[in-house]
Structure 1
Amino acid sequence: MAPRIFPFVKLMTKFGIAGGAVYLTYSQGLLEGNVKGSEVLSKAKSAIPPAVEEWTKYFGWELPSAPKIDFSPTEMWNSGVHMSVSALSVAPTRACEYTHQGWQYLKNLAK
């Protein structure tokens, strides 16, 4: 009986964590826009290090210092969107070029 329940409990735990993450994201308003997301990110940057330091003191662990991440998620997101859209815009032209090159290769192979 117990071996059958363990996978179920494990699955329900994963669903609970995922559901909690989605609920927290929605309740914090992170799905509304970039400004709200930036505010929450700055809150997290200021709240997480003291909490980690407190827990490491409590458990007696010694962690290496966290690396400084110096980039803007907004800029990274915008550059990714820009690259994706530009790749989609040149896709028909590239497909024609690659098809032409393929036909030329096959013609040269047949000679």
Structure 2
Amino acid sequence: MELKNTIAEQFVHMVFFWLKDPTNENDRKEFEKAMHKFLNSSVYAKNKHFGQPAKTNRPVIDDSYTYCLKVSFNNLEEHDKYQIEPAHKLFISEAFHLWERVLIYDSES
């Protein structure tokens, strides 16, 4: 059965980042700058969302991460191209030293 009022997202890539020093404002600014530069130049990333944990409070919510990225693609092939595109590689080289953990969830319909 088709869902009503949804955005067509065939492949969803969700990335959760835990910064090494999440209270360091300079680190946060550096990470955000690298992320925005990446998202503004990525050829493949669609329906982009970059944010921080929402101010929700229920036992089932994990808000331990520092930042969340969600991007979608038309298919797995676009996702695979995204993984090796120059903008993605540049983001990793500019920001990897700021995080201590990354967790990824991929989903396709």
Structure 1 length-normalised TM: 0.23
Q: Which has the higher contact order (CA 8 A, sep 6+)?
A: 2
More helix by share: 1
Structure 2 length-normalised TM: 0.23
More strand by share: 2
